A and B are shown apart, each in its own frame.
Chain A
């Protein structure tokens, strides 16, 4: 993490721990331990799975052992790579489209009270329609190719983004708006220098949700009608009881969502450093002249 560069008091009070994630030894250790325990548990569960399947001689078309899944992944790596690339593209394009639409919609709802009154209840109501229900329609309208999945992902993603944007903008401090007004700020300056920075923390919460949702949307789209992608691969392998391939597809799917989530989190830390600081971290009061 980037630490603000300003002098810290030479004699900090005893017992003040450095902020988590700092480059000190204690910070490195805390970060290391955050990964260590979940990974240990995962390894343990995988080991039990392997032993259980072997000991009980479970047929591979019911539950393959982890070693078999791994062997399938390596053996058919070209197939998995092709389908993973397609799904990744759908997730990224759908996510980007959904975020763009969500951002614009959130802004429009904020700046137009009439639009908010008319559209907001409809938006909430529309979220009660299961996305599975419209997936077949999207295949009819946008075809078996990339576009029906992109639209599917975008439809799931835009809602949390629009909501986060609207809620974030509504948090703008009225006293700050008045301050900007007395300083002669233009409406554009109030948007870029006050309203949008205020909305960013809420917006990032929405972005984290959409990183997960986008993957769900793409896979649902593929289940309903597709000729390629990890969702398609899962479905066709499942029908032929090639369960190791189904597990392989799931393993390929996981890093897409996790990677997006990691990217959003990294961006948040870079763009919103003030969110991760507090006065206690640096005990600056000690150096008040």
Chain B
């Protein structure tokens, strides 16, 4: 393999996507370009309905762009199709987590978190069971392995969903507002857990959020997307050590700069 650039994990170039709506076609993504290095933690921040989820869907291969390209480790993503009974396709090196926990109600927590490896093969599932047992302790779920999702609290379910995402053993995590439905205290705990996991397992993370606080606390870099049609408005590096962030004055300054960027174009219009 030739060394192309500094091996970007995610490389999105001039991506455009539109959908059919009640009032004709509307543009959701309008020429989005961004690049994320391996091991980086990047937040994608923007108003609700700004095409952030569409971008993740394209990266996950669930949707096709109209034009432009989305590459993951240099491989073009896409081709999953959305028709029923779509043909098997090469696996993306991504694990996708959403705001809904999407745990299977008929599976116990234990069987839920091992879904990813189980879909690959029985041997894969066996191989990851000991890793799962160790992680359960870290996620404070070890007492609930036999519980069904209906018996768990929202925070527990979301922890289980994050654990399942990790056990897919993919290098890139696409997180679509994963903590959006949780109360502030539970969200704070899960954010710390996510940081720990990201360090421990050397993952590349693309986190979609509309919470400026969350973006600044967690990521290396915050990419701000405009309202529809989605464009990259600005990028902010967060050159503050994670531990210092909650109290650092730089954090506050960065937060208000990002907020200004988010509100700016709307205020002018």
Q: Which residues of A contact B (CB under 8 A)?
A: 4-7, 111, 173, 175-176, 178-187, 189, 193-194, 197, 200, 272-274, 277-279, 281-282, 284-285, 287-289
Contact = CB atoms under 8 A, between A and B. Distances in A.
A2 B168 CA distance: 31
B155 interface: yes
B92 interface: yes
Contact of A175 (B60, B98, B148): B98
A111 B85 contact: yes
A272 B106 contact: yes
Interface of B: 60-62, 80, 84-86, 88-89, 91-92, 94-96, 98, 100, 102, 104-106, 108, 115-116, 119-120, 140, 143-153, 155-156, 168
A182 B104 contact: no
**Chain A interface mostly helix, strand, loop or mixed?**
helix
Contacts of A285: 153
A141 to B, nearest CB: 37
Given A173-B102, A193-B119, A284-B147, 4 more contacts: A183-B115, A184-B92, A200-B106, A277-B148
B8 to A, nearest CB: 20
A79 B104 CA distance: 52
B62 A181 contact: yes
Given A184-B120, A197-B106, A277 B84 contact: no
B148 A181 contact: no
Contacts of B151: 4, 277-279, 281-282, 284
Nearest to B80: A181
A183 B98 CA distance: 13
Given A279-B151, A279-B153, A183 B104 contact: no
A6 B147 CA distance: 7
Contacts of A186: 88, 119
